[in-house]
Chain A
Amino acid sequence: QKEVEQNSGPLSVPEGAIASLNCTYSDRGSQSFFWYRQYSGKSPELIMFIYSNGDKEDGRFTAQLNKASQYVSLLIRDSQPSDSATYLCAVSSVGTGGFKTIFGAGTRLFVKA
């Protein structure tokens, strides 16, 4: 059973701090890694994707991937109250029926003003 694990939180950080969200996955053959943000009562929204080991930066967001450790993280710099949401990690790999994506249960982030 392929799994994606996240700490459910809540993770609470003060405004302006760095929020660090972590995710581990079980399928060593996974190829694509995604972070989605989901506000309460809303659908998930893709904010970052990463394919290669290392860091990928987009504005205040940095995704980090370490395939050897089967670990992917999301850093949010200068956290704002508007960043308060649930962050879903998703991992894709090739299966017999094509690409399959597995989602983690999400980490709730609360940014205190």
Chain B
Amino acid sequence: SAVISQKPSRDICQRGTSLTIQCQVDSQVTMMFWYRQQPGQSLTLIATANQGSEATYESGFVIDKFPISRPNLTFSTLTVSNMSPEDSSIYLCSVEKGRGQNGYTFGSGTRLTVV
């Protein structure tokens, strides 16, 4: 399975600022996925990032708030823009385990606190 390096692992940010989260995969992957996990809640998909095209956002998430870059097949960034305390959460990137529906491998996560 792919190994994902995600950074930063945690950050405390002032409201109104932006934070960019990076994920580096040790192999080429077609799709990368960005999730949010709020305390005590399930993982919620923010968007799917394909190399060479715009990310596909899920209902309730917009590009202006969560811009995503996918410059190549091993790297992606998620920016949380104009942050508010409601954005405090854990953000995770993930890739599929092999081809087909075999589940996901996740990065180590970014714990974001907005004050």
Contact = CB atoms under 8 A, between A and B. Distances in A.
Given A43-B106, A43-B109, A97-B56, A31 B42 contact: no
Interface of B: 40-45, 48, 56, 92, 97, 101-109
Interface in A15-44: 31-32, 34, 36, 42-44
B32 to A, nearest CB: 14
A4 B42 contact: yes
Interface of A: 4, 8, 31-32, 34, 36, 42-46, 49, 51, 88, 90, 92, 97, 99-106
Given A46-B105, A49-B103, A104 B42 contact: yes
B10 to A, nearest CB: 10
A86 to B, nearest CB: 10
B40 A44 contact: no
Given A8-B40, A44-B43, A92 B105 contact: no
11 contacts: A4-B42, A42-B108, A43-B92, A43-B109, A46-B97, A46-B105, A51-B101, A88-B42, A90-B43, A97-B56, A105-B41
Contacts of A100: 45
Contacts of B108: 42-43
